[in-house]
Each structure stands twice: as C-alpha cells, then as structure tokens.
A and B are shown apart, each in its own frame.
Chain A
Amino acid sequence: MRYEAGATFEGNTLKTVSGTMREVVRKTLRYATSFLLIISLNFALPRLMPGDPVKNLIGEDVYVSEAVMEELRIEMGLNRPLYEQFTAYIGDLLRFNLGYSYHLHSPVAEVLRERIGWTLLFVGVSIFLGAALGTLLGAYAGWKPETKANRLICYGFIALSCTPPYFLALICLDIFAFELGLFPFKGFYDVPTPGSVMYHMFLPVTVMALFSASRNFLIMRGSVIQEKGQLYALYARAKGLYDISILFRHVIKNASLPIITLLALDFGFLFSGALFTEIVFSLNGMGTLIYDAIIGKDYPVLQGSFLVIALAVLLANMLADLLYAIADPRVRRPT
C-alpha cells in the first residue's frame, strides 16, 4: 500500500553518539572554510581583477595623479608580497577597517553601519512575514491540493516566484503609490518615527514578504504532500484525529523542517532581492548604497557590502543548523 513507501529513517537508528560528534566537527570545518573563502575572495578580488589594483581598491571614478597613486600603492602595501598584504588585511578586518570610500569621503565600515540596520529590519520583517504566510498557506494547499482555490493559489505563487522581485516592486509602486496615492514613492529621509517608518516600509515589506512567501509556499506544499502520505499521519487518524487537526498536530511540524534550511539558504537570495526592492523604493539601505557604488565604481563600498552580506548569510546558516538540531530529534541523540 502507498504509505509503506520507504524506510527512510531506518539508517538513523544506527547513528551513534560519535557519529553526531563527527557531524558537528564536519559542520564546523565547513563553516570555517566558508568563512576563510569569503575573506580570501574579498582579499583577492581587487588584486586579481584586470586593471590596476590601486584603482580597484579606491574606486575607478576617483581622479588622482600618478604621484598620489604611487603614494597610495605604498601606503596600502600593494608593493609588498601577497602574504604580507594578507596578514595586513586580516589585521585591518579585526579592527573593523574595511577601507575608505573616496566617493563618500568616509570609512566604509561607518557607511555600512549606518545603512545595514535599515536593511536588516526590512529583510527580517519580510522574511518573518513571508515564512509565516508561505508556510501556512503552503501547508493548507498541500493538505488539499485538488481544490480549485488551492490550485489557483499555487499558480499564483509560482508566478510570484518567477517574477524578478524588483519588477513586482515596480508594479506595486506604480499601482499603489502613483495611481492610487496610498503610499509614498520615496524612502524615509524624514525623521524616522515608528509611524513614518511603517508608512514608508509597508509597500516594500509587502512585496518582499510575498516574494519570500512564494518560495516557502512551494516547498511547504510539496513537503506536506509528501509527509501526509507517511504512515504516522495515517496512525494519527487511527488515534482519532481527523482532517485538519492531523495537519496541525502531526504533519506540519515534520513538513516545516525543510523550511528551516530553506530560510537560511534563501536568506542570501532574499537579501539580494531586498537590495533591488530598496532601489526601486529608494529606501535608505544597503541596496541604494550598492546601486550608487556600482554607478560610481566605488569598489571599497562594494567589497565591504559583499563581506557583510556574506557573513550575515553564513551566520544565518549556522543559526539554521542549530535550530534544526533543536527541532529535529533525529539529529540529536541523548549522550
């Protein structure tokens, strides 16, 4: 019969405590490697890319004379061997020195600190709302996939997930801000009171939440469809639960486990999506910063942003692994 499909968890019963330890070591190793790779990438990019490394490090549109260039080359240590440059670079990182933006005339770290708060708030709220919306709707759509309404929702979310987020933002901005005048079409450059922040953030957050929901929805729907065919769901019915309460009491917890990993992996993706949405809505966050940096060829800012985003994503992944271990008893075992 259908619900016999696969003894997928059988292998886990054999897993021993030392196996868990090995898993932890492996994970730590991987994160350490990722961390190193990100840092080295950031170090290597301006030095490996075509063009003068000095130009690559200060930004292309900054005008400096030959003499100043040479001065800078010595000051930045670009004439020294690579490993010395690398140690110097690590030292700088430890002091939160991410370089100097000649465009904005201020240290990159400072610029980033100003901006990242808004973006994190924006991304955080959107991810949270998107996860809640996507998981719930996805669970319901997976529970009863044949109904017309659920099919419609499904197609809607597929369409959403296939739309570039900034296009969605453009359309929303056009409809709600330009045509209907319900929301402002510029970011919050006035005093950030909670009311005005909400007013300015509502539309972008809705767009991002919808976008994030669309991804969670599809995963959750598939997950529920798969989980509801498992034997424990049938056993829940045999215990006297019926219909939707089986979903909420038994299936949803199992089905939402992959969402945890997805949220972490998607964090980077959504973060990038948020950058584009910010640009469209002219929000005062990292997105506009990066946009301006690209136009102005302000490489230090770009590099700093990449570093910060990559580390944020790494952190999110670690958090997800931890959360997963707490949520899924199959991962942890008594010692």
Chain B
Amino acid sequence: MMQKEAYLQESTRRWKDSIAHYLNFDIWKYERTLKKLNREGLFLFAFFLVLALFPSLFAPYSPTERFISYESPSIAHLLGTNDIGNDILSELVYGTRISMMVGFASACISTLIGLMIGLCSGYFRGTLDELLMGFTDVVLTIPKIPLIIILGAFLHPSIWTLILVLGLLSWESIARVVRSKTLQIREAGYVKSARCMGFSSFHIMRSEIFPNLTHVLLPKFMLATASAMISEASLSFLGLGDISMKSWGIMLSFAFSRGGFIRDMGWWYIPPGVCITLCVMSIALIGFGFEERDKERGNRGVDAE
C-alpha cells in the first residue's frame, strides 16, 4: 500500500514537473533555451498577443466608427479609411483578436481530438488501432479546403462554425504523432510497472503517458494554430468568413472585392496580409523551436557511446 502511495505522489510530481517545464515560467532564466525557441518568434508573438488582449490601448478609434471613406493615410488615420469609412488601423488592431482566436480555438479542438484518437490507438493497439488509423488515413486524403468551402457555402458560417469545422478537419497529423509516441512510451518501464500495479487504463493514460506527450503536442499545437489561421484567412477571402467579426482575412477580402486593390490602396490590403504572415510565422517559429529542442533531447538519450 505504501508503495502505491509513494508511486502516486511520484506520478503527480512528474505531472507538475512536466507542466512547469513546458509552460515554463522561468523561461527567461535559460538563455540557451530561449535561443532554441527563436527569440524573434517569441517577441513577435508577445506583441501580437498584447494587441489581441488589449486592442483598445492601441487602436485610435473604434473599428465601427465611420469617417470619410477611401481616405489616404494621414496623421488622423495612419492607414487611411476603407470603403465604408472605418479607420483601417483600428480595424487591423481589433482583427488581431479574432484571427488569433480562430487559430487557437480550432487548434485546441484538433489537438484534443488528435490526442484522444492517437492515445487510444497507441495504447490499446490491435483492432482499435487498425480502425482508428484507417479512419485517420481516410480523412487525411480528403482535401480540407474544398470541403470547408462547400460546407461554408451551405452553412453561411458564423465564426464558431468556422472554428468547429477547421478544428474537426485537421487533427490527423496530431493523431499520428501522438500514436507513435504513445507506442514508444507504453513500453517504458514506468508504464509497465503502473500496469502491473493494477491502475486503470484511463489513469495510466492520463498520468503516465500524457505528461510525456506534452513535448510532441506543443509544437504540433503551434503548427496547427498557424495553419488554421491561414485557412481562416483563405476562407474569408472567398467571402465565407463571418462578416460581423472582422478578421484580417476578411479585411483582405474586402480590400480585394470592394475596390482597395483596383484603386491601388496599398495601405489597405498590405497591412492585414503582412500581419497574417508575421503572426503565423511567429507561431510557427515557436513551434519549430519546440520541435528542435525535442529532437535534441531525443539525441541525448542515445549519445551514450
């Protein structure tokens, strides 16, 4: 019994460790870690995060306030105004929150689904694995964006359906990675010992395997966010976004379809595009950084000789 208690304590400690390690609060301590995580990416990301959290601090006007339309940049309107007279800079700042929310929310959904499918598939193996991975493969071959286009056309999406659709359709690569990692971990000594002690499968998956998956999940989550943001921007461009929530993609789409491009109003269509690129890049860079660090950890294990 005592053994079991000690074991339980140990496992919670490991949990906390891994969380503290990965959602690192003392990240600034480690100069080297920071370098690995791509300093540029982190700073850019922090910048966009602040924009998204406190848009009112940065935007000069409310995004719905109307001025004279099609104005060129001036001191009053740094990026001019659009077709209905909204201040473009304000729109841009407020759009950050929406674009990032779509990205993160749908990445959360897809990571969750991918995690469950991958974990079950890798842990239980056998027929379930075969079925789940078969399903994953099948979903993988269906082209996402055309399907989302057709769904979008039928559903006239609000931002929530968009998030849901994007999340539901992009979990396959996560599921695969999680599965292969789970297959590895389930053979490790501590998992075997936990099984011998008679813990339930759910408990083992939650407190033994999951903490060890965080470092493959995190980069995948970041990359999923990045690609969801691009998909959102693309769909919005086709007019399938939620017009009531003006994201960067919708701004671009309006600039293209409502005369910004023809009138050569570079200050209208370039900033949202650049923002999308930079924001996606910052997230992707952080993801790559995590991946690289993970690889190095992996190497260290076999470096023995």
Contacts and interface: CB of A to CB of B under 8 A. Distances in A.
Q: In their complex, do chains A and B touch, with some C-beta pair under 8 Å?
A: yes
Interface of A: 1-2, 4-6, 26, 29-31, 33-34, 37-38, 41, 45-46, 49-51, 56, 158-159, 161-167, 170-171, 174, 178, 265, 268-269, 271-272, 275-276, 279-280, 290-291, 293-295, 297, 299, 302-303, 305-306, 309-310, 313-314, 317
A163 B141 contact: no
Given A162-B230, A167-B252, A272 B145 contact: yes
A164 to B, nearest CB: 5
Contacts of A271: 143, 146
B62 interface: no
Interface of B: 134, 137-138, 140-147, 149-155, 226, 230, 233-234, 237-240, 249, 252, 256, 261, 264, 266, 269-270, 273, 276-277, 280-281, 284-285, 288, 299, 302-303, 305
A294 B239 contact: yes
Contacts of A276: 234, 237-238
A31 B134 CA distance: 10
21 contacts: A5-B299, A46-B154, A49-B154, A49-B155, A158-B285, A162-B284, A164-B252, A167-B273, A167-B276, A170-B252, A170-B273, A268-B145, A268-B146, A271-B143, A272-B145, A279-B238, A290-B238, A299-B154, A303-B150, A306-B150, A310-B143
A108 B238 CA distance: 21
A294 B280 contact: no
A280 B149 CA distance: 17
A71 to B, nearest CB: 23
A314 B273 CA distance: 32
A323 B165 CA distance: 33
Given A279-B238, A302-B150, 16 more contacts: A2-B303, A30-B134, A30-B141, A34-B138, A46-B154, A50-B154, A162-B281, A163-B273, A164-B276, A166-B252, A167-B233, A170-B256, A269-B145, A271-B146, A272-B144, A313-B143
B273 A310 contact: no
Nearest to A42: B150
A141 B305 CA distance: 29
Given A6-B302, A159-B277, A162-B230, A294 B238 contact: yes
Contacts of B149: 290, 294, 302, 306
Nearest to B137: A30
- Chain B binding surface SS class: helix
Interface centre among B138, B141, B252, B299 (most CB of A within 10 A): B141
Contact of B240 (A50, A159, A294, A303): A294
A305 B146 contact: yes
B239 A295 contact: yes
Nearest to A290: B149
Interchain residue pairs A-B with the least CB separation, the first 10: A268-B143, A272-B145, A167-B273, A49-B154, A162-B280, A162-B281, A163-B277, A34-B141, A34-B138, A309-B146
A310 B146 contact: yes
Contacts of A164: 230, 233-234, 237, 249, 252, 273, 276-277
Given A30-B137, A170-B273, A268 B305 contact: no
B213 to A, nearest CB: 20
A299 B153 contact: yes
A9 B261 CA distance: 54
B302 A4 contact: yes
Nearest to A309: B146
A34 B264 CA distance: 45
Nearest to B172: A265
Which of A4, A45, A158, A167: most chain B Cβ within 10 A? A167
Given A45-B150, A162-B226, A50 B155 contact: yes
B266 A174 contact: yes
B142 A310 contact: yes
Nearest to B256: A170
Contacts of B226: 162
Contacts of B252: 164, 166-167, 170
Given A5-B302, A49-B154, A306-B149, A38 B281 contact: no
Contact of A171 (B147, B256, B270): B270
B134 A29 contact: yes
Nearest to B261: A170
Nearest to B148: A272
A2 B146 contact: no
B147 A306 contact: yes
